[in-house]
Structure 1
């Protein structure tokens, strides 16, 4: 017995059958489809801190470990593609030889019995082989004849056997597409990181800080990197997110951002943003100027530059700042967004200002109202740009920081203008708003003058004397003491302090009446204090009337809010010079051509499978009659219509031939 007689063929082994099975391939395709949905919904290749802000530290780390922030280059996605290539390749290896044999075969082994058992068969009298062969050829069949030993003649015909190419092309398309995906999946980069030759840097900030093991040369076969370029500046490197760090990717050309353009919809959403670029080849010095925008990238030297994002590139800012620990005048301050500055407030302490992004365009619905019932029935919306904002953090000596946002222009609220500053303890908390009323000149100076006068004991005493002078002499001492206590309470904590005093010292039955009386005294005194404050700070007087009364009431609310304001300094943005930054994504994808080729093969395979119908016909001539039979692999309904037509036409040919003879 031969040595390998009992050896099981490879294609019949269980593991081969499993890997090459359609169920296994379909399961892999389903997983890839789900992963592709995740990669589409979840923004990919963003800076790690963006994901921490969006999902929190725990889930950001969990999603990072699963590779969801770079799905198409994650180890499990690459592994699935490798198995899909293997499965599809084995499937083709198993099925192509029999498919080729089937396409070449005319099935000349058909017998009279087998033809008689076919669903579509009949007996035709008087038909001759030569005439039948010409008829089948005219109708698109390829015909082959065979004369058998018993004298019978078999005509075997076929058309549409190229249908099998649909299966081959479709499966080949999966292999080609997955191969292209593997080439663009940073597989070599991951292998280099696994072997320790490539080490992502977790601390470097500038390009000069990256070590050689964290730098990728221009010969890197594939990558997807990000670069942020400020107007007027040039970059010849980009940054690749890798694991928990970054890699520096050298580019074969330098990119200069000449100008950044952005347009907005009325809702405040960006309508279009574009970058005017100058590309300079590092080798030849050749320059090329172009404009890229969303969905209109630039391809140069095998690299594609996409317009991905935009932001503040470090704008010049002007502020007026008030030290809330004192009553001094505002101090001008200049800064640059996206920078940090030390802030020394003397006895109040030392802090660090960390400026964030300047947003020039901020749209709000000016029809919005605080009344829920009104808002629920209001159908119209009126969007309006309310002007620039600047965000910043104030970090104390212990490292604790609070975040702030400040509007350049006053906001219109219930018919009055307010300078708004928002404060919150962390990024996920809502802002608590400090609303400072604008004076007749549209500035916060009137309120700040009132506050400084209120905090000045001498000025406050003079105002109290003016207020008490309007009361009879017999009541002045008692009234003066009441006003002094009332102002002292308000200075300490605003309305909240007065409410606390009433609730702790006044019987419950008298609290409402006492509160109304103290409110009237406070408002009347504040009118006098405002007049004195405007004179002291050399500001235009405010005539008596509804506008003045409203300003006083809003100032009382603003002062109360200021007593709960955590910042030791109040900053008001007064001007800026905008500098834009363009976020570019630069990719090198040599596998893209294979993906396009695979897509073409997939289309061709679909056309062959669904629009090319395989049909076979046999005519067995024995004596004076012929057994005619037809079969089809997938177009049974068409065959039920076509078979009677062929029978009728062949019968006519047979009768015509009989009449001629």
Structure 2
């Protein structure tokens, strides 16, 4: 029987304790701290990128650690959303616990307090007046009004007069607004996290596809998302002139295909650069169509200037080559005098050369490429230490015999050094970070035909038994000039000769039996767009306003209350006792009370 009674009485008590803990400030602060730490991680660590990028950046160990902690998609992982949901619940409990008493405090004024209450106020002053009760009250009320207080005269049960004045009556709204703002902000964040999608992933309804090479037509329906999804954030790369109606949303180490609520066509793309070759701005001109093919909007998207349509934001995130036609000239170092083989290719294509021993993979093409001036023997410029080498093609060469891999860059534009034009080829072994450069003299005409012909003539002279001498070098250079019909002045011939001998020394470290020179190109762009729909943003904007306004009230609108108790004094006439308190900034309030008391004594 006693045990039954104990359970009956302890259950409500336990519930009250749990309710108090859930609504406590300490718990809310800890939850906010966890959310802040997670948000810092999500800000520093790039989110929703391809897992191979993380692997290359962090290495196997840290890649695994970060992956197990779901740090690659912090804002949509289970533990983060759990903390945010718990913070919403805790803050809501706090509001329900304290809001009624705060509202009562703002509605009902403690205008006729007890003597013990007044004596416990931190600010107390005393004044005397020779005026009548009414005149003293009028003087006190006028003084309080001058200081911005709303005052009124009350009568106590003993017949004495009490003047009550206050300002900042609604200061408690600051607490309510900040708490409600936190709840709304977290609720908006959860809404943007697309909880229905997370639920579909947890229940197995949706399966991210992990084969990034799979064509759209072969991606299973379990990896597709409807255009009516409440929230999404995905990327798409669109060549100029093409139309898409879906994008890719990276999820873990795979992706989902998100149907767009419209069709998007990239009409044009333009990129501008600074003088040093770095990208200054890139702009996409896009048109949006209904699924029936009717155009309903055309606009421009540029960096930090997205296009908005029906709650969907379209951002310019990147740009890349879109199968631009690249024309290369391939020279054999074993027979440099022969005309080069013309190669027409594009990024992503694979070629074979030198009896199929070498496999060439075209990996990248850029219209602008910046390298240190020091790397090509130039002194730093007046503005910066970089030089823009213009269009550049990058390719990877695999030697099928010894399985070595060489990474090369061929620069189309010649650069000038000491008045002489050079073509540049960079190379490095796979795994090495530093490029080595061949600076090949170009001569009066474009290309390296003169140098290659000269190299072939020198090799033939060596095979004929001619010794290396200045006479042999000059005579063979003149011979190469006649064969290529590129004629040099004596000064140009001396410079060309010195540069040629230097690059011949550099060729000893060159690991391939051929030189691939970038000749020209036919440019085709692709624009990288990020498309998002975050319906919770409106809620977040309201929450931010509530937080800012609430914090402003908390810091700058303190509640200040003053009571002036008037009573008879046989020796000095009317006695006025001042009592006051303030919710914050007690030192400022103390100075104000001293000033108010001085002004009151002047009027009395």
Instruction: Give TM-score scaled by structure 2 length.
Output: 0.85
Aligned to 1:345: 354
> Is the 8 Å Cα contact of residues 72 and 252 (structure 2) preserved in structure 1?
no
Output aligned runs, 1:93-104, within 5 Å.
Answer: 93-104=96-107
| 2-structure distance, mates of 1:551, 1:260 | 41
Cα 1:436–1:379 change in 2 (3 A) is closer
Cα distance, 1:385 vs. partner?
Answer: 3.7
Contact 1:152 1:622 in 2 (8 A): yes
The answer to whether residue 277 in structure 2 is matched with residue 268 in structure 1 is: yes
Partner of residue 589 from structure 2, selected from 616, 619, 639: 639
- Which position in structure 1 is the counterpart of 2:437? 433
Report the CA distance between 1:332 and its aligned residue.
1.0
Contact 2:76–2:193, Cα closer than 8 Å, also in 1: yes
SS of the aligned residue for 1:392 comes to strand
1:515 maps to which residue?
A: none
Confirm or deny: 8 A CA contact 2:376 2:437 kept in the other structure.
Answer: no
Of the candidates 213, 216, 222, which is equivalent to residue 222 of structure 2?
213
Q: Are 1:629 and 2:579 matched, yes or no?
A: yes
Partner of 1:233: 242
- Greater mean alpha carbon deviation, residues 546-555 or residues 169-178: 546-555
Q: C-alpha distance in 2, partners of 1:370/1:342? A: 32
Shift of residue 30 of structure 1? Answer: 3.8
Flag the structure with larger Rg: 1
Q: Secondary structure at the match of 1:267?
A: coil
Question: Kindly tell me: are residues 333 and 644 of structure 1, through their superposed partners in 2, closer, same or farther at Cα, counting changes over 3 Å?
Answer: closer
Aligned mate of 2:540, from 564, 572, 595: 595
Query: Which residue in 2 is equivalent to 1:517?
Result: none
Q: What is the CA–CA distance in structure 2 between the aligned matches of 1:117 and 1:59, rounded to whole Å?
A: 60
Partner of 2:87 in structure 1? 84
Contact between 2:278 and 2:368, CA under 8 Å: does it hold in 1? no
Partner SS state of residue 193, structure 2: coil
Which of 311, 322, 341 is residue 331 of structure 1 equivalent to? 341
Alpha-carbon separation, structure 1, partners of 2:71 and 2:34: 14
How do 1:263-302 and structure 2 match up within 5 A?
263-283=272-292, 285-302=294-311
How big is the shift at 1:67?
Answer: 3.8
Unaligned runs of 5+ in 1: 468-482, 484-520, 656-661
Calculate the TM-score normalised by the size of structure 1.
0.79
Once the two structures are superposed, residues 368-417 of structure 1 have per-residue CA deviations (whole angstroms, 9 ceiling, x without a partner) of: 8859xx86xx8654765432111111234477542211001223345433
Written as runs of structure 1 = structure 2, the 5 A alignment for 1:649-660 is none
2:409 maps to 1:405: yes
Unaligned runs of 5+ in 2: 569-573
1:356 aligned to which of 360, 363, 367: 363
How far apart are the structure 1 equivalents of 2:7 and 2:365?
A: 81
State how 1:470-481 maps to structure 2 within 5 Å.
Answer: none
1:244 to 240, 253, 268: 253
Instruction: From the superposition, tell whether residues 355 and 620 of structure 1 become closer, same or farther in structure 2 (CA, over 3 Å).
Output: same
1:446 counterpart residue number: 450
Which of 379, 388, 394 is matched with 2:391 structurally?
388
Displacement of 1:271 in angstroms is 1.9
Q: For residue 90 of structure 1, give the secondary structure of its aligned residue in structure 2.
A: helix
User: In terms of mean alpha carbon deviation, does 547-556 or 159-168 score higher?
Assistant: 547-556
CA distance in 1, matches of 2:498, 2:566: 111
Shift of 1:276: 0.8
Q: How does 1:301-320 map to 2 (within 5 A)?
A: 301-320=310-329
